Amino acid sequence: MVNASDILKASLLIVDDQKANVSLLEQILRGAGYVSIASTRDPYEVCELHRKNRYDLILLDLQMPGMDGFQVMECLKEIETGGYLPVLVITAQPDHKLRALKAGAKDFVSKPFDLAEVLMRVYNRLEVRLLLPKPFSIAELLETVRVVLCATDSARAQLEPLPDWRSQPSADGLRR
């Protein structure tokens, strides 16, 4: 079971090219008690940031210059190979909502922001995300397998071969 404390400690990334939107979302979320909030105004940084930090939720603006939110989601899909894209899109365009959900976003928040709606949608998305098993990379899996195999080899080497009692003479000198 996920409790409110776990949800408030979840890692969030806010992505919006508008400084005012980033500041407002940070203020709303910090005011509600969220403690692990990062942000960027550069959509080209998102995938690398997520690869390094594995955010529990990414609040992603769809309309940004250079690289839009749909392109960012395509990049994130290459990282989130387990199928769960931790994205809550931010949009002022009603026709973008369905397209974003079809592209893999899990929910959306409309602009202009409604404080209660933002907080409820973020909380609900994080609750679901934290109930799912944590994704791990193939590299992490391979490292775990390597450690287990090394430990097994080490334990095997420490065991002395047990003598075969059938080939050992008994106290009376007879083989049994």
Q: Are strands 11-15 and 57-61 parallel, antiparallel or unpaired?
A: parallel
Q: What is the pLDDT of residues 60-114, one digit of tens each?
A: 999 999 999 999 999 999 998 877 889 999 988 888 888 898 888 899 998 899 9
The tens digit of pLDDT for each residue in 49-71 reads 999 999 999 999 999 999 999 99
Is it the case that residue 139 has pLDDT exceeding 70?
no
Q: What is the C-alpha separation between 111 and 59, in angstroms, rounded?
A: 12
Residue ranges in the chain assigned as alpha helix (H): 4-9, 19-31, 46-53, 69-79, 94-102, 115-131, 138-158
Query: Residue 36: enclosing H or E segment and its boundaries?
Result: strand 36-40
Q: Where are the domains of the chain?
A: 4-131
Dump pLDDT digits (tens) for 142-162. 667 777 777 666 666 665 555
Average pLDDT over residues 120-148: 77
Q: Are 122 and 114 in contact (CB under 8 A)?
A: no
Q: Which residue has the higher pLDDT, 39 or 159?
A: 39
Q: For residues 80 and 142, what is the distance between their CA atoms, to the nearest angstrom?
A: 17
Phi and psi at residue 14, to the nearest 5°: -100, 130
Of residues 59, 133, 117, the one with CA closest to residue 89:
59
**CATH number among 3.90.1150.10, 3.40.720.10, 3.40.50.2300, 3.20.20.190, domain 4-131:** 3.40.50.2300
